[in-house]
Amino acid sequence: MKILFTPAGDTDPVRGYYDGAMLHILRHYGADRVIVFLTQDMENKEDTMNCYTRGIQSLLPTCPITYIRSGITEPQNYEKLVQIQTEFDKAYNQYTDAEWLLNISSGTPQIKSVMSLLALDYPKAKAIQVDSPEKSSNRKNHPCKTVDELVEMLDVNEDNDPQAPNRCSEPPLLLLKRHGLRLQIESLVHHYEYDGALQLVRQNKTLFSEETINLLQHAVHRSNLRWHDANKVVAKYKQQPLMQHPSDFSEYFQVMELRQKKKQLPDFIVKLSPILMGLGSQYLSQMPGFQLDHCGRKNDKNKDSNSFFILRAKMQEHYPRLLAYIENELKKRLRDGPLYFNTIVFICQYYKETQLHDDKNHAEITDIFICLRSIEEKIRNPLAHTITNITEGKLQEITAAGIQKGMRSPDILRLLHQAIRRIQGKDVHWSYDYLNTCIIDSLHSI
């Protein structure tokens, strides 16, 4: 079934002895049904002259016609035109197998815009544009005002000639389509949904620049912990670097923070342990009066340069009191094996309690580590052994014991940033919002 959904305008059904847009579409496309949207003025015109019915039936005598009498008196007001979308949606869902023809050449400029948007939003709808016979405005030709004039124009209609040109076209509506897609892409980018944004752009390559594709591919790589690959695709935008002082730690930390911003709390929590190990190992390597190499050796079997292997005998030789302290805390003998964050915290506690590092910086870092260790221990097991949706409320509930009212993800991030500033002397720069600004800026160029 083929259905024409059309507003009625002053040029319909005929004007100046030529088809109006409504009639011309029916002449060249045909239809099994016509749905006509009438404003108040057009209702009056139909009631007075039966003009739209006469015009349609002059071409398709048996075609069913449905009139939508909107009562709209201000067709130049977009807010009043919501009814067009409502009525079309109702008809579209009623005739699910139909092919839809949308007349985007009749009515006020506002009505034409709404009809064009409908053509973009509904997959089975096709926008049909009809040029005037003069290829310009029809304002010089006044509409018929009497039934006699109407009948005469229909009878001697120039478009009845089989040699008359077809003035219909199917515009791709690229400007409107690009605008609508750009808004969708911007929304996805603001929410850090780079995969979805990249897919939309790739599906509409002709509407967006190669630069936009590269920037989104960069963002996808980075958000998947492939920052080296991201820089190979594109490293700068308008001569400015997309990443300031990138490193494995800073990029991993930002990806963890990205998960928190996207409310992907299980993944945020999973990434907490490597961050704590990175911070702890970095702090031990720079702590005055302590040499981590005297406690073991680098794990040569692991390519990860931060991997360290504890050797009890070596610790006994160089730090016997520290070893005794750790074993007292553990309530068991320390075994040879990987360095864990828990051991790092015990080392920091020992130096704080024995006042070998009687300074505020060490005390603050140690207190932060103790708090973060407690959080990690409390949330690691529930996440690993139960099927549960970790929400902010659940996170606060799990961490409540011993940590005042518990902590939510922003509180955990705040502690991590505090530790980074103490250990590194500067914070990790959040660069994803700058990246988003670059992507959105590129969307405005072709």
Q: How confident is the model at residue 304 (pLDDT cuts 50, 70, 90)?
A: very low
pLDDT at 78: 85
Pairwise CA distance, residues 144 & 152, whole Å: 10
Is the pLDDT at 184 greater than 50? The verdict is: yes
Alpha carbon separation from 395 to 49, 264, 268 (Å, rounded): 71, 12, 11
Helices (H) and strands (E) in the chain, counts: 20, 13
> Has residue 137 got a pLDDT over 90?
no
Residues 17 and 105 sit within 8 Å (Cβ to Cβ): no
pLDDT of residue 177: 75
Q: Please state, rounded to an integer, the average pLDDT across all residues of the chain.
A: 89
Count CB neighbours of 261 within 10 A: 16
CB-based contact 419:365 (threshold 8 Å): yes
Inter-CA distances, 55 with 63, 66, 157, 164, 349, Å: 11, 14, 11, 18, 91
Note the pLDDT tens digit of each residue in 213-230. 999 999 999 999 999 999
Looking at per-residue pLDDT, the higher value among 304 and 130 belongs to 130
| Arithmetic mean of pLDDT, 8-32 | 93
d(CA 422, CA 414): 13
Over range 381-403, report the average pLDDT: 73
Ordered domains of the chain (ranges, CATH):
2-171 (3.40.50.10770), 176-244+434-442 (no CATH), 268-424 (no CATH)
Look at residue 236 and give its three-state secondary structure.
strand
pLDDT at position 143 over 80: no
DSSP result, 98-154: -EEEEE-SSS-HHHHHHHHHHHHH-TTEEEEEE--TTSS--TTSPPP-SHHHHHHHH
Identify which of 330, 326, 331 has the alpha carbon closest to the alpha carbon of residue 316. Answer: 326
Contacts of 367 (CB under 8 A, 6+ apart): none
The dihedral formed by the CA atoms of 52, 54, 58 and 61, expressed in degrees to the nearest 10: 100
* Span 11-27, average pLDDT: 92
Helix (H) or strand (E) holding 310: strand 308-310
**Secondary structure class of 15 (helix, strand, coil):** strand
Residue 157 pLDDT exceeds 60: yes
In this model, does residue 107 exceed pLDDT 70?
A: yes
Which residues neighbour 339 within 8 Å (Cβ) at sequence distance 6 or greater?
277, 281, 295, 296, 308, 309, 310
Mean pLDDT of 111-126: 87
Instruction: Select from 139, 143, 152 the least CA-distant residue to 45.
Output: 143
Residue 244 is predicted with a pLDDT of: 83
Nearest CA to 366 among 392, 339, 345, 394?
A: 345
**Residue 387: what pLDDT?**
53
Tell me what the mean pLDDT of segment 132-141 comes to. 61
pLDDT at 253 over 90: yes
* Mean pLDDT to the nearest integer, 39-52: 93
